[in-house]
Amino acid sequence: MLDHVGMQCTDLVASAAFYDVVLAPLGAQRIMDFGSAIGYGVPPHPDFWISAQETGEGFRESHLAFTAPTRAAVMAFFDLAVAQGAVVLHEPRLWPEYHATYYGAFVRDPDGNNIEAVCHLPELG
């Protein structure tokens, strides 16, 4: 449904360093870098963009959920985010109130946004 989404960051360098690390287990990487805007995704299509804050004042929290291919990738995302200093909102777990196989973890990025990795697949045994 969405082609791409973008967020403005108060510290683009810190946010880029964070997303460079935590998106890797989800299969995403930095694809384009224009200095003031950086695009991430699975090559060749950057579908998540961060840029330097240029408009507005104050903080407006955003929530972004990134698709993870496996539950192990959700855990890797979470572990790397915590290692990068992210504040833990919710540790990886099933969220049956969403649906029976919704497995997600939630952290705050360097700007305080609610960032999630989610796998919708059942655990493979």
- Per the domain annotation, does 66 fall within a domain? yes
- Per the domain annotation, does 79 fall within a domain? yes
Q: Which residue range is the domain that position 97 belongs to?
A: 5-52+61-119
Quick check: 81 and 73 in contact, CB under 8 A? Answer: no
pLDDT digits 0-9 by tens, 103-124 = 999 999 999 999 999 999 998 7
Full-model pTM: 0.87
pLDDT digits 0-9 by tens, 23-77 = 999 999 999 999 999 999 999 999 999 999 888 777 788 999 999 999 999 999 9
Angstrom distance (rounded) from CA 43 to CA 61: 28
- Per the domain annotation, does 125 fall within a domain? no
Residue 69, domain CATH? 3.10.180.10
Number of domains in the chain: 1
User: Which pLDDT score, from 0 to 100, does residue 1 have?
Assistant: 65
Task: Find the helix or strand (DSSP H, E) in which 75 lies.
Answer: helix 71-83
- Per the domain annotation, does 72 fall within a domain? yes
Quick check: 85 and 79 in contact, CB under 8 A? Answer: no
pLDDT digits 0-9 by tens, 93-106 = 999 999 999 999 99
